Structure 1
Amino acid sequence: MQRTPTPDRPDPLDPTALLDDPYAAYEGLREAGPVHRISGPDGQPAWLVTRYADVRGALADPRLSLDKRNSSTGYRGFSLPPALDANLLNMDPPDHTRVRRLVVKAFTPGRVEKLRAPVAKVAQDLLDAVEPRGTADLIADFAGPLPIIVICDLLGVPEHDRRDFRAWTDALITPDPSRPAAMKEAIGAMLRFFTELIATKRAEPGDDLLSDLIAVRDEGDEGDEADDGSGAGGVAGDRLSEDELTSLAFLILFAGYENTVHLIGNAVLALLDHPDVLAELRAEPERMPAAVEEFARYDGPAPLAIRRFPVEDVEIGGVRIPAGESVLLSLASANRDPERFPDPATLDPHRDIFGHLALGHGIHYCLGAPLARMETQTALDAVIQRFPGLRLAVPRTELQWRRSIRARGLMSLPVAW
């Protein structure tokens, strides 16, 4: 039964509640029931799953497809062109298995660990630039640039060719109602950028991930490419289609940037809100890896998993969901479910954090999770060690969050030291 709204506890089914106070809204939804019929971010109806056990089970349920062609409502997401849309976030096995296998080796914990020293240098360089000022916007000056530099180095994007990726991702994640053409413009700019980048790397390969992926694509282009009927230019064996190649480069940059920016920013704010945890991590930096897992659970960057579509009627939490309808799995709500994480609204870096869902679960578990973890650990350690007097430069109430239920992140984070 739905809880009666009060001035301090708004109706959780009110769409604005998920924007104004998402964790209170999710608490109300969990109490009211495991699954709710809501209006999704795009205005289309969807089924929202809120409890940990149901969300975790659904993340690994093969009956829940990521392929938009299984939507019975004509859902098309961002309406990206095939050259950006043929990526892992829209694929089921066997295409998902084939494409993921080609790139996962770049993100193994061992290979990512080799990047720790270069990432630490980037972090220190960014902090060197702002230290004399005594103040900074930690999003624009630090959390934003760091993952862009890391991902661009990984893909082999030359320094002179690095664009304002944040403007593009903002246009997709939080569209500006006053500029309806902005999303289309951003999509066009991204497509041109990646098309030109691949052409450049194809002509002059380097020691980078994108050059390796181009080689995989081109080595397989010897007459054995075959349309598998997927509609995404799928190919047989360990191969990539041209659309898959372009889409994979887009996904690595888009997801690797967006989520890491928010994870770093949210974690810094959590530390400023909890000076006892900040002091502990400054004194015992070896605890940072475990703390980052708790930051991800406590206030992760992705409130929702990628939308899914049942290929047959399914039952989740005792609720029957017809085939083809949209299913939204709330990672944010699941990670605050007291049935799994006692006292979930408390930031506790010592808690048993095993099984949090901030980075997903199952075959679609975040490909770049080892990189995101390492970047966040390195960034947080650099900031808190460099600036022992770190504090907010504005009242806490003046901080602004993105108006999106797709992404949980700060617009800016003014700090001083």
Structure 2
Amino acid sequence: MSQFEEYFLMDEEAVKAYVRHKTEFFGSDELIATEIGDGNLNYVFRVEDSKGQSVIVKHSGRTARISDEFVLSTDRTIREGKLLEVHGSFVPDLTPTVYLVDETMKCVIMEDLADHKILRSALNTGDSFPNLGEDLGRYLAETLINTSDFVLHPKEKKALQQEMINPELCEISEDLVYTEPFYDNNHRNEVSETLAPFVQSLLYDDEELKVAVAQAKLKFMNKAEALIHGDLHTGSVFVNRDSTKVIDPEFGFFGPAGYDVGNVIAHLFFAYAHAEAQHDLTQAHYIETVINEVQAYFKSRALKLLKDKTRDVSLKQEKVFASYIREIERDAHVIAGLEIIRRIVGLAKVSDITSLSADVRLQKEVQLLKFAKFLVQYPEEARVYPSLFSIYNDYEVQVA
């Protein structure tokens, strides 16, 4: 039996042998394998030779890296690789090339984006990218509309939906996004002493907010609109001046289309708050422009795809298209609010906020929490404001 015909959790040495066994990328040069993953779930190895050629190997363990409490199916990497292939069929320039999906070793071998930066880090250090808003808006429109009932044949969608079912990671989202930030029922929330009174009054004690969150959770659990990325934040996007690449869709499944749109908006707001806190008004203005562009490009491209590609004659109605996009935008506002809340209160923080000094961090956390609450409770009212920034600025605070 070959060494790689039965699953085991690989280390660097095993990954080098694995790549040699499974691919013909490299010649006889000595290989170097380095574990470079900084995410919460999986192991990521860069394998390279002396000529600078390299690939990425993404590999699943039986528990999440963030905590052994999360016992997961190792098939999550297989689903991720297949989802990248599906999304890549619509936007090949916005996803890494997948070379191999190995169902036995629970691995994906893919293009190395070593010449790109993680978007979160790049934005927080003042970098800007001329095509970012258009690229993200196009990614959202192409992946969400092309995997919806408007475009996919019902049998094709149901078959893909069955293949992409993702119960363990959906459960993590149901807990960390929709439940724990409002109840701390598993005692995993991480809240500073100075923020705790605000969390108590703004979240834990607000029963009307909890009703809105429950309604959103039911949508997440039941609304199978499109094949979503499921964790589309600025740490899941790689960029350089000429290229945008979306990675890490391990949380993907058929869910509400607004989930991906809302996640993008939420994390760009974290970047905006970071730039504000650093008094970098140029960067703040740039990020504001990107957020507006994402929403505008998504809407215009999504409507064009609906008009051009809707398969079912009974769905091919202008008013239906407009209503569908409005509902996605509404859901996106709710999701943006939930994502902001959970990243401030819950288990997985963002460096945009944690890197701030304690007093400034508290001010931004309180402002963001108030802004997020409004989005969750009043998503329809958010549509009548000139922009989301006018709502955000309404909650500017000075905390003693």
TM-score calculated relative to the size of structure 1: 0.26
Asked which structure has the greater RCO (Cα within 8 Å, sep 6+), the reply is: 1
TM-score calculated relative to the size of structure 2: 0.27
